[in-house]
Amino acid sequence: MDFGVLSTAGIAQKAFLPAVESSDHETVAIASRSEDRAAVVADEYDIEHVYDGYGSLLEDAPIDAVYIPLPNGLHAEWTKAAADAGVDILCEKPLAVDTVEAREVVDYCEQRDVTLMEGFMYLYHPRTQRALEIADEQFGTIRSVTASFKFSLRGRPNDIRLSPDLYGGSLMDVGCYPVSVVRQFLGEPSRVYAHADDSRDAGVDTELAGILEYASGASARIASGFDTQKTQSYRVEAENGWLEVRDAFDVPSGEPLELEYAIDGRRVVETFEPVDQYRLEVEHFADCVENGEAPRTDGSEAISNMAVLDALAQSADAGTAVDIGAAVDVEY
């Protein structure tokens, strides 16, 4: 598969381009608002075609698919533009700025018969898959999940994550991961409550804590933030055991990872050799396109995750609990 990349964003240079380079696929085109900046990245990664502007790449580049690592507020616009160009799309999370927009984007791509995948790379790591397997096959009823993703933006006052115009904020940037992992274990919540703080007076949340309630009586706690040192973890508590994962989402490169769990008093630590979860994500996407299958993180998954993010944001604004209701009960 030949990829084009819209933007020279840090995540593209740090993760996506090396992942494609190590796979059987190729990045053949890259675009930026600055052609000079795109050319520098193209030279580093031996990318043949360089474009001044995202539209120019979609109009002219000899590509099969496009990767979109733009700021959150631009995801929907350029996903639709890519669908108009007839190419398949791997878009960074979150797919859209709210549930309404997510539904519109998913419908748009379906109408144009292109594959759409949201880039939650952690779900393609073997450790995540093993954790879900243990929960499904060996746990009794799961009673609670706790998940957190925080890191520091100290000294970075102009970071796009602090821009309300680009739909930044800790919930949208890193909080989407705890919400996603909670949903993998517990499904869709019925109601949420959240508290947020804007410690930078930036117009976005820089810290958020939320509670997700379930009709079954189970519950989850999630947290996101830009004001403390990096932490990323989740813990699942079941009637007959528990599991815990550290370095859960943005995993350290080149290091073995552990999954610790206990079942009926038997404690186990499993070790996973280093893998490139972005390469696994790319390969899954390409396989789905080739076989005409829906990706693991397809449009319906993006809509469901966005509905919970919406509810948490609404709760934080209103200071009251918010029912999910039909917001996540969408079938595509």
Query: How do residues 301-317 score in pLDDT, each as one tens digit?
Result: 999 999 999 999 999 99
The C-alpha angle 117, 119, 125, rounded to 5 degrees, equals: 115
Determine if the pTM surpasses 0.75: yes
Please, what CATH class does the domain formed by 2-119 belong to? alpha beta
Among 53, 56, 27, residue whose Cα is nearest residue 42:
27
In this predicted structure, what is the pLDDT of residue 150?
98
pLDDT in tens, 219-269: 999 999 999 999 999 999 999 999 999 999 999 888 999 999 999 999 999
* Maximum C-alpha span of the chain: 60
pLDDT in tens, 84-93: 999 999 999 9
Q: What is the mean pLDDT of the chain?
A: 96
Residue 68 near residue 90, CB atoms below 8 Å: yes
The predicted model gives 134-153 an average pLDDT of 98
Q: Name the CATH topology of 122-328.
A: Dihydrodipicolinate Reductase; domain 2 (3.30.360)
Q: How far apart are CA 125 and CA 171, in angstroms?
A: 22
The predicted model gives 135-158 an average pLDDT of 96
Q: Which residues contact 94 (CB under 8 A, 6 or more apart)?
A: 72, 75, 102, 118, 172, 176, 302, 305, 306, 309
Task: Give the start-to-end residue ranges of the domains of the chain.
Answer: 2-119, 122-328
In this predicted structure, what is the pLDDT of residue 253?
80
Residue 175 in 3-state DSSP? helix
The predicted model gives 101-130 an average pLDDT of 98
Amino acid 72 reads N
